[in-house]
């Protein structure tokens, strides 16, 4: 049940007939794991917290640096050197004190990562390296928890949704083999600030759609953005029948 204050706080969402109180109650009951509290994780966490996702777990073992402030909009100059996960959690709580926000200020992998994913309704990949992305994908497939994945570098971004609960849904490994992919970081290639906000906002929208059951998700589709030309392209994705991660 939603309180009177919650009905007022989320009134603009509840007003939409397809979403209504039922959609808001689904958000309230959900538990979302956000891995990465940087350029993508900031808008994802802020929008999901403001929208009323009842339980957020924010994972990042990094500290805030001066070069982060150009795009990681949840952070302040005075917080340099502080934990990204903890400060992002503080920011979300300041926006919406009625939800639960937990900061995990350590690197998670193996059984630890799989346990966090298994406890979640949905996981959001806001990381910047392939090793973590592949580990998240394996945990998603093993626990059958949907994965919303986004990436941004230079002026290009992309995102998709991988749902192991849907028979025809590919997984991240169907699209990218683990061998032959090398990490290219923002510190090496650069990134324009608003781009991560654009990709992160779409990730948050996909989470809300999946949790509420409203709309058509990006399962089986990859969106690619060229921000300098402001062009979106869509690619159809198919499941790899020989995928070592998700093939039956």
What pLDDT score does 186 carry?
73
Domains along the chain with CATH numbers:
4-236 (3.40.50.720)
Q: What radius of gyration, in Å, describes the C-alpha atoms of the chain?
A: 17
Partners of 149 in beta bridges = 125, 160
What tokens appear for 53 in the block? Answer: 């996702």
- Collect the ranges in the chain with pLDDT lower than 70: 179-184
Q: Is 238 exposed, middle or buried (0-12, 13-18, 19+ CB in 10 A)?
A: exposed
What pLDDT score does 184 carry?
65
pLDDT confidence of residue 182: 63
Using H for helix, E for strand and C for coil, what is the string for 77-115? HHHCCCEHHHHHHHHHHHHCCCCEEEEECCCCCHHHHHH
Q: Is the pTM of this model over 0.75?
A: yes
């Amino acid at each position: 049940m939603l309180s009177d204050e919650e009905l007022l706080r989320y009134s603009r969402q509840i007003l939409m007939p397809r979403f209504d109180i039922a959609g808001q109650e689904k958000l309230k009951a959900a538990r979302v794991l956000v891995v990465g509290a940087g350029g993508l994780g900031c808008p994802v966490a802020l929008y999901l917290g403001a929208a009323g996702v009842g339980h957020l777990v924010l994972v990042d073992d990094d500290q805030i640096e001066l070069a982060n402030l150009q795009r990681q909009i949840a952070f302040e100059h005075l917080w340099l050197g502080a934990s990204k996960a903890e400060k992002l959690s503080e920011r979300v709580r300041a926006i919406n004190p009625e939800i639960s926000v937990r900061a995990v200020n350590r690197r998670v992998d193996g059984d630890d990562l799989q346990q966090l994913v298994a406890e979640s309704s949905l996981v959001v990949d806001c990381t910047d390296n392939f090793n973590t992305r592949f580990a998240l994908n394996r945990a998603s497939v093993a626990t059958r928890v949907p994965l919303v994945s986004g990436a941004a570098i230079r002026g290009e971004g992309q995102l998709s949704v991988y749902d192991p609960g849907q028979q025809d849904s590919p997984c991240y490994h169907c699209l990218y083999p683990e061998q032959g992919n090398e990490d290219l970081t923002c510190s090496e290639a650069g990134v324009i600030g608003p781009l991560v906000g654009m990709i992160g906002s779409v990730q948050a929208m996909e989470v809300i759609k999946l949790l509420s059951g409203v709309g058509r998700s990006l399962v089986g589709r990859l969106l690619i953005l060229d921000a300098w030309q402001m062009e979106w392209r869509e690619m159809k994705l198919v499941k790899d029948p020989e995928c070592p991660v998700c093939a039956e």
